[in-house]
Structure 1
Amino acid sequence: MFGVVLWSDGQDNKAVIWCEDHGDLAFYRQEENEASVALDAGDWVEFDMSMDHNLRFVHNPRLVAEGVFPELPEALESAAPRKAAASGQAQRGSAEIIPFALARGRRDVQRAEVAQKSAL
């Protein structure tokens, strides 16, 4: 699965990732036997996922591209209060989809980098 890192803690090797299927957020915590990978908010990652007690957990994260979506955490944060304020109350069960749109000008560069990595 692919996703975007919304929050990370480099010291504790933890992260929260928004998944491409727009389902529940996935949580990452580096296991002792995993190789270290530095994740920062806005990074595009590919990973394996498991479920445990209705929570999604990330395993084996692989960095696809750094900082591709730096504005995504703020966009998600600003969208939630606006929707709740407009209705007068928070509505559960409804969703506002915010696409994984690459920043203009960077899209072609990122695609070329991904294609190059895939060819190796």
Structure 2
Amino acid sequence: MPFYCQRCGTGLPLSARFCSNCGTVVTAAPPPPGRPLVRPIAGRQIAGVCIGVAQANGWNVTTVRILTVVGCVFTSGLVGVAYLAGWIGIPEEPIAMSAIYPPSQGSYPPGTPGNYPPSV
């Protein structure tokens, strides 16, 4: 993806902070909106690599899974190796934790008056 000065249109390297032609300060384009590449907890079949790639790029997950299987067969397992690398390299989606502590039932710590442990 080429990077150009907005003032004079000179092509610049991605690490440039100033235009080499006109001296204008250049800013990097913001990253495109979308989901980060993570392996989600819900909806996975094996490791969540296909659904993570599909969600990050806005693709259909079924199409990605079919292309993965077909690619694994036709590339003699090269796509399978890439899948394993994705399993290891793509981080798992963080688990959402409740901000409520301690639980609203009973009292905490044990031994304090209240209904802890629950009576049966």
- Under a length normalisation based on structure 2, what TM-score does the superposition of the two structures give? 0.22
Q: Which has the higher contact order (CA 8 A, sep 6+)?
A: 1
TM score, norm. by length of structure 1:
0.22
Tell which structure's C-alpha radius of gyration is larger. Answer: 2
Query: Which structure's residues are more often helix, by fraction?
Result: 2
Higher strand share: 1
